[in-house]
Amino acid sequence: MCGIAGAWRLGGLPTRVSYAAMRNTLDHRGPDDRGTHRALDKEGRLYAVLGATRLSIVDVAGGHQPVSSPDGRHWLAFNGEVYNHATLRRKEGARGLAPRNQSDTALLAAMLSALPLDNVLQSLQGMFAFSALDTATGALRLVRDRLGVKPLYWTQLTDGTLLWSSELRGLLAHPAVSRRLDPVALRQYLMFEYIPAPRSIYANIHKLRPGHVLEADASGVRERPWWTPPVLRGGERGGSLDKWASSVGRALRVAVHSRMEADVPVGYLLSGGLDSSSVAAAARQRAPGAPLHTFSMKVDAPGFDESASARSVADALGATHHECVLDPAGFLQTTEDIFARLDEPLADSSLVATWALMSSVRAAGFKCVQSGDGADESFGGYPTYLAHQLARPASAGRALLGRLVERLPVRHEGVTAGYMARRFVDGLGRPWPQRHQVWMGAWLPEEVGATEADWTVVQAHADAGDGPTADAVSRAMYLDQRLYMAGGVLTKVDRASMAHSVEVRSPFLDYRLVELAADIPASMKVRGQRNKIVLRRAVADWLPAAVAQGKKKGFGSPVGPWLRGPCGHLLDGLPEAVEGMIDPDALRQRIRAHRDGSADHRRRLWSAIVLARWRSGPHGPG
């Protein structure tokens, strides 16, 4: 796991720029090593710089980056892991390839010298973002993995210089990069709590989309897909629940076991819910007598704490369990750390809990863990999937439902039924993709003056996932995979983990498991109020019954109640701090209603707090 950054321009790069400064902003992603390759053209001009900082997980001693192919033609800076690198090494070794070291990066560089890029990519099982330079032609390729586990930002300056970095901060270290806000991205952030690719908060900086490659050569710069996400077919495809469950169980074991391969100890994040518990249980099956270390968060607030369930799973697996406590004081301390490093606003409040948990993981001496991320989007874990089934009949009675939900008591302990009911009504009467985003987000479109441009990326993914047999549940899951998971969940995990130099491996994001799940009938995922049906059947014998059949609670931070209590000062001066971005009067009204308990505006308020602190921070617009 690493951070990468670099620059490229045929005809020569300005030499007065410190490209090392871009790389050095990523030291937290790779504190174990750093390196730079500077490429010169035939006239001796510097035309490409590839930089990397390294977190050593595989080939700890020998995996220095950037690394070249054996013939010296191809140079590679790589962020991520290729889990099948040992198998590929044996296969390619039989063909005579001899990588420069035992790392997956060196193997990939060697493969690029013998095979077309797309052939290499299709053979990879892993998470990655990398830059590859062909010194014979001068061509550069930037690549992001299928599901977008690892990030990659890029921009092109007015003189044609192409810059890239694992994090936005790396680009901002270049003196010629503009900090002009993208108004579409700002509104998307306020509505969705994240900014979906290809936009970033700055108009001239882009995120490389998952499963895409950016090619740069003498003919220009262009982006194209190298992997097509599977459309969730939804309709009945035959096969019994038991057979599908057996296939899911086998695929999950393979994904977990391949992610156990490392030259450092691997730990397991454990929320106490189905997904992370399944991963830890599969790991225990692989190594019954080996030490197993699990990590969980104890949240000191009613309705948010799942630590008892996590402890019970750890005990059942015979694991050494590590528990981190998040209380109001720790919450405030953690948010200050986050705000000091935040280079793009992200309003998922669970970032705070995740950040604190990663600090605990690193303090325990681990720099590699597995997680349960990705299961909800493939197996139907979110309550919004049930809501879509109810939306059509409920739309006719929207006005009456609106009056009824307003009578429900306002509670701030966890994600309550009242909160979900109000949000459900907010989404009614809208096209289904917008309805879905409203249910998942913070501010309503009409509250931020949303335009058609704000919905372009949402509609594009909705259209792509709308196959001939797709039902409401399958379409919504596809949309979550492309937007919420890639833009929100994975960004949160990457920022929190890499801030503490920890690598997170997510077996449910193995593309083979994702493709298998896409073929499973929707009725075997969600039916009535039951969710993750096939996954629960697959792991029923692995876990205590209370966990295998338990309800999803979600991993979050109690910003709602704490903004009414010990952390309420975070709201002081907030309307003035975001003036010009959020209507101050509207924000004041929501602050008053939240403080007096007449409404629950946790998500709106938290998004405003994050925006204000980012705006005034070192990576804000200034």
pLDDT in tens, 608-618: 999 999 999 99
| Structure tokens that stand for 457 in this block | 């990326």
Among 301, 180, 188, CA closest to 607:
188
User: Taking residues 203-216, what's their average pLDDT?
Assistant: 98
Read off the pTM.
Answer: 0.96
Do 433 and 459 meet the contact criterion of CB atoms below 8 Å apart? Answer: yes
H-state helical runs in 207-327 = 241-258, 274-286, 307-317
Which residues make up the CATH 3.60.20.10 domain(s) of the chain? Answer: 2-225
Q: What is the pLDDT of residue 490?
A: 98
Q: What is the pLDDT of residue 533?
A: 96
Q: What is the pLDDT of residue 237?
A: 67
| CA–CA dist 293, 320 (Å, integer) | 5
| CA–CA dist 221, 161 (Å, integer) | 10
User: Taking residues 209-221, what's their average pLDDT?
Assistant: 97
- Phi, psi (degrees; rounded to nearest 5) at 293: -110, 125
User: Taking residues 425-440, what's their average pLDDT?
Assistant: 93
183 contact partners, CB below 8 Å, separation of at least 6: none
pLDDT at 166 over 90: yes
Q: What is the pLDDT of residue 554?
A: 63
Please compute, for residue 45, the number of CA atoms within 13 A of its CA located in the half-sphere on the CB side: 10
Do 338 and 355 meet the contact criterion of CB atoms below 8 Å apart? Answer: yes
pLDDT at 570 over 70: yes
325 contact partners, CB below 8 Å, separation of at least 6: 297, 298, 300
The SS3 call for residue 353 is helix
pLDDT digits 0-9 by tens, 23-51 = 999 999 999 999 999 999 999 999 999 99
| Structure tokens that stand for 285 in this block | 């099956």
pLDDT at 456 over 90: yes
Q: Measured on CA atoms in the order 545, 548, 551, 554, is the torsion positive or negative?
A: positive
- Phi, psi (degrees; rounded to nearest 5) at 398: -60, -45
Of all residues in the chain, what percent carry a pLDDT higher than 70?
98
- Among 102-111, 261-270, 516-525, 550-559, the range scoring the smallest mean pLDDT is 550-559
| CA–CA dist 224, 212 (Å, integer) | 5
- 1 band by pLDDT with thresholds 50, 70 and 90: low
- Cis status, amide bond into 230, omega within 30 of 0: no
- Cis status, amide bond into 544, omega within 30 of 0: no
Q: What is the pLDDT of residue 556?
A: 75
User: Taking residues 198-227, what's their average pLDDT?
Assistant: 98
What is the CATH class of 241-379+477-548?
alpha beta
pLDDT at 503 over 80: yes
Q: What is the pLDDT of residue 397?
A: 80
User: Taking residues 329-347, what's their average pLDDT?
Assistant: 96
pLDDT digits 0-9 by tens, 63-95 = 899 999 999 999 999 999 999 999 999 988 878
Neighbours of 71 (CB within 10 A): 12
Q: What is the pLDDT of residue 469?
A: 66
Please compute, for residue 162, the number of CA atoms within 13 A of its CA located in the half-sphere on the CB side: 26
Q: Can you list the pairs that 335-339 forms with residues at least 24 positions away whose Cβ atoms lie under 8 Å?
A: 335/570, 337/499, 339/610, 339/613, 339/614, 339/617
Q: What is the pLDDT of residue 15?
A: 83
pLDDT at 160 over 90: yes
Mean pLDDT of the chain: 93
| CA dist list (Å): 360 to 9, 36, 386 | 42, 31, 35
Q: Which helix (H) or strand (E) holds 17?
A: none
Q: What is the pLDDT of residue 454?
A: 98
| CA–CA dist 296, 310 (Å, integer) | 7
Neighbours of 387 (CB within 10 A): 21
- Among 264-268, 417-421, 449-453, 568-572, the range scoring the smallest mean pLDDT is 417-421
Q: What is the pLDDT of residue 107?
A: 93
Among 200, 144, 116, CA closest to 4:
144
Among 61, 85, 66, CA closest to 76:
66
- 550 band by pLDDT with thresholds 50, 70 and 90: confident
- DSSP, res 484: I
Kindly report the three-state secondary structure assignment for every residue of 288-299.
CCCCCEEEEEEE
User: Taking residues 236-240, what's their average pLDDT?
Assistant: 75
Q: What is the pLDDT of residue 236?
A: 58
| Structure tokens that stand for 467 in this block | 């196959």
Q: What is the pLDDT of residue 472?
A: 85
320 contact partners, CB below 8 Å, separation of at least 6: 291, 292, 293, 294, 314
| CA–CA dist 608, 256 (Å, integer) | 38
pLDDT at 412 over 80: no
pLDDT digits 0-9 by tens, 91-147 = 888 788 878 788 899 999 999 999 999 999 999 999 999 999 999 999 999 999 999
- 555 band by pLDDT with thresholds 50, 70 and 90: low
pLDDT at 363 over 70: yes
Q: What is the pLDDT of residue 234?
A: 62
Bridge partners, residue 141, by sequence: 132, 215
Q: What is the pLDDT of residue 417?
A: 76
pLDDT at 235 over 80: no
Task: Give the gyration radius of the chain's Cα atoms.
Answer: 24
Which residues make up the CATH 3.40.50.620 domain(s) of the chain? Answer: 241-379+477-548
| CA–CA dist 51, 21 (Å, integer) | 10
Task: Select from 3.40.50.150, 3.90.1150.10, 3.60.20.10, 3.40.50.970 the CATH code of 2-225.
Answer: 3.60.20.10
pLDDT at 357 over 70: yes
214 contact partners, CB below 8 Å, separation of at least 6: 141, 142, 143, 154, 208, 221, 222, 223
The SS3 call for residue 546 is helix
